[in-house]
Structure 1
Amino acid sequence: MVLKMARPWRDPRTGIFYLRKKVHESLRPFMGCGMYKRSLRTTDPNEALRRFPDAMAEANAAFELARKAKEGCAQLNARDAQQLAARWFADERKRLEQSGEWQRWLVIGRGADGEEADSLSMHMDDDKQRQQLLENLVLPAVADMLKTQGQAMPAPKTKLHEQLVQVFTTHALDLSEWALRNWAAAGRYVPAPVIAPYATTSVEIHAVEASKPSVQAMQRKPGEAIDILTANPAEVFLRDVLEDWAKHGKTGRQSYPVKTVRKYEASVQRYEALTDNPPMSSIDRPTGTAFKRALLALEGDSQLSPITVRDTLVNLGTLLNHYSTQTGHLPHSLWRNISNKIVEQQHTEVRDEWTEEELTKLFSLPVWRSYALPTAKNAGADAAYWVPLLGLYTGARITELCQLRIDDFSEKEGYWMLRLAVTDEAQSLKAAASWRDIPLPAELLELGLLQYRADIQAMGQEWLFPAVNKSAQNNAGGGVSNWFSKMKIAEGFRKEVVFHSLRGTLNTQLARKGIPLEMRCKFIGQKPEGGVNVTHYTKLKAKDLIPTAEAVSFAFLNLTKVYTKPVWSAV
């Protein structure tokens, strides 16, 4: 018997060759047709034969997707396309950060001043360049990410194919723009664009559903002894993870304090009460979002403060990260930033600026008049004196200040500069606009800030405030913020004025002195509104802010230098 080989079919009316393949009746509901037909876009028989194998490969992929859908396997959708592109972007970003091979994503040329570079988006009007981007970068990336889902490349011109190409191309162009900024930054780190957070795809959700626990597993009560390393994720509950986390303890096997374990226990209890307590196999980011909404919706005696809601989410995120680290069954940082802005929203409603009278009263306290520092551990020793002053004179956030390193200070062209950036894993910044270099106002220098820095450096320290606990739950500023708030209440200040109010107070003072909006925003680390302002703002350099720094003055405080030596000691 001679097997009939598939060959191009010629339309007798137009002479154009096509690939035609009959669709079995069981697959028609999933492919939407009875005959799969794709044009080879040629009337030349030889050219049709050359194009036929690629078209057949695409057809086979389309049929494979339909068969998977028929068998109950999940199909990818537009949301999944965005998620896969975001994952690819995150992986490629990490590789670039480690290798520094920015030119891989740039168009490099030679100019009058030497080597020049353009981003890929500058060449998208060129059909050849656009096709090269598609064939050399986008389509291979799509294919690789589809393999992680056990999916074949969908046929061209299908809805999913177009969605994948569109979102991957957008991310590729963003990656190129970021690479160009890093290439031009000459070694200084440039933050990457924000991407969609990690979320499970339809295929992964289907896989989880298929691995749901057996009847015997469901009969096990949460909290009963179980080894989370070997157990099926469908049989492991959050309480099991809590017990394993408490058993492991801190780095070096040091046990957690009983008080800390009880806080985590309370967080798990709230989770169990407000959810159906799903096992690890069913926990994803939407689970955390729904739980946050349930916490915020509590009323009456059950109502929780915004701080308690935030801490609950942070605690559970820590447990999920522990499970991820120990087993690899969950993506790390699954609930990352899910608690953001909960406390800030409350502060926004009541926050006001400090008046001159209030600032005078504050900085007349013994801390600033005689360097009589508080003994409370969370005050951070010398940080209690310097951090509020830095907050007033620079407008920086409390965490930005508490995490400063000795090498964040430098002298350039006769001016001392302060760098607010992330150069250590213990540092963090709130937004891209927070990255900045600013000149230090003269009054800070007159109070002995540089002398303090030199004294701490001479003691062998890398951090400006070594007494500050940078592993605190609210980043480096958590402890000092807590001390400042309690001190403020004890001294009878209004609840509307908080540490963050110093930022607004400085902004208003500079505005009254005629400093332009974009200069003020660049100095305090805030992105301004408005197209023209934003465009000019992004081009400002540290030296452009010298007039702004020179305008910072609070002469009415009558502050004098009281610093002589650090209170902190390594003993």
Structure 2
Amino acid sequence: MFIGFAEVCLRICGRSSVSEEKRSLQTKDPAIAKKRHAEALTEVETRWANLRAGPQTLSERQAHEIAAPWHDRWLATYKDNPSAQTTWRVDLAERLWGVAAPSKAGTLSVNFLLEVDADESKLRDMENWCRAGARECLKSSGLTVNADSELILARALSFAIQRASLTLARYAKGEFGIGPQSSTSWHTDVVTSSELAKSISLTELFEGWSTERKPAAKTLYEWKRVLQTLEAFLGHGDAGKISSEDLIRWKSSMVDAGLKSRTIQNAKLAPVRAVLQWGVDNRKLGKNSAHRVTIEVKSIATERKRSFTDEEAKVILAASLLEKDTVKRWVPWLGAYSGARVSELCQLRVNDVIEVDGIWCMKFDPEAGPLKNNSSERTIPLHPALIDSGFLTFVKGIKTGPLFPHLAPDKFGKRGGNGTKVIGRFVRSLGIIDTRLSPSHSWRHRIKTQGRRHSLAKDILEAITGHGRRTVADSYGEFPVEALLRELSKIPTIAL
């Protein structure tokens, strides 16, 4: 008998000892055992990942995806004798979850009242059964959710069972030819067998995805390389033939090669998952084999990026004053007093330094070069320290065009790529070698640290750094430059 097992520390479940999870694969056939082992491993890894993630909130889409297999199991249970399905009352399903019973005009008979009472009892039984099923789903997948999410899942289960029961009712009348509807992704209708049989390459899916999504050139380049690497590993590029087992083997090979979990999750699995999901959403694939293939990403304190300290900031800014290279001279200063990304600063043009309501500002405009997201497009005031240091004089000395014309764009057309290398070598040459520091990005960490230290308004600080707005309320109104300058000026000038 083949036994599938794995080992994990179960402290996340309230236990303090290391334990094994063992499960019989119920076969002596090696080929079947191999397939079942991969499926069991995927299920176990998913459950553990969910347990580690802690409490979650389910969307309706996620709930329907979790409930989808129940449709097929219900169908499979009764497909040979569909008339035997009498547990689920399809005629009552529309009244589940608190919908009132229909009323009848005139005097209500005793028989009708008894009938209503019986229906109400059956409705409660069906609801309770769905709630129990939801709890079973959550337990088996290791998900922890709040009461609202549990109800959303229970409702999704009722919809899945209702669809399957309606299909069985048609089967009972001899209307066959309607197959399973489960999938790990959202469908507005059933994918036909002819559509599932179509072969489509990863390259075709990627081209479709990139045409629609229009990603940045760097993303396009990196994701294409990931898919090419996956093709080389599999020995083929047929997206329809890729299984979860294939992707688990690929993940394991990357772990064995020494890649960090964060790299595997975010730079390898995420692109594959996104491209396959695009194929599912656009009716080119029947399922997303990467949907639940994940890897735990641990947060390690020694790897977490940190801010520049006051002393480190002084060393860098003082050294910048002595530089003739304008990138080394101004990019650290601009970063220190704005928290802007190096890529944004390196592509600034003369006409991006503007005066708004009598206040000098920097404008980050997508016409100057690619920006990370919509929130990155913004106008922020110049901190008084930049004006005192002579930044406006520097800008006025350039007639037109980029502020750093000698900084050549990289192969993706971004000056920031080469600017990051220049700043990186410069900062490291000053003896600042802590790997938790990013020579460029640690200014962004510092501005947030300083914002907390000097009580800057949170929404204004996020508007300055170009971080996304988290709620609809955050998108209301504008951020006047005088308000931005008022808050930004709370951050003191670094004494050199």
Q: TM-score by structure 2 length?
A: 0.48
More contact order relative to length (CA 8 Å, sep ≥ 6): 2
Q: TM-score by structure 1 length?
A: 0.42
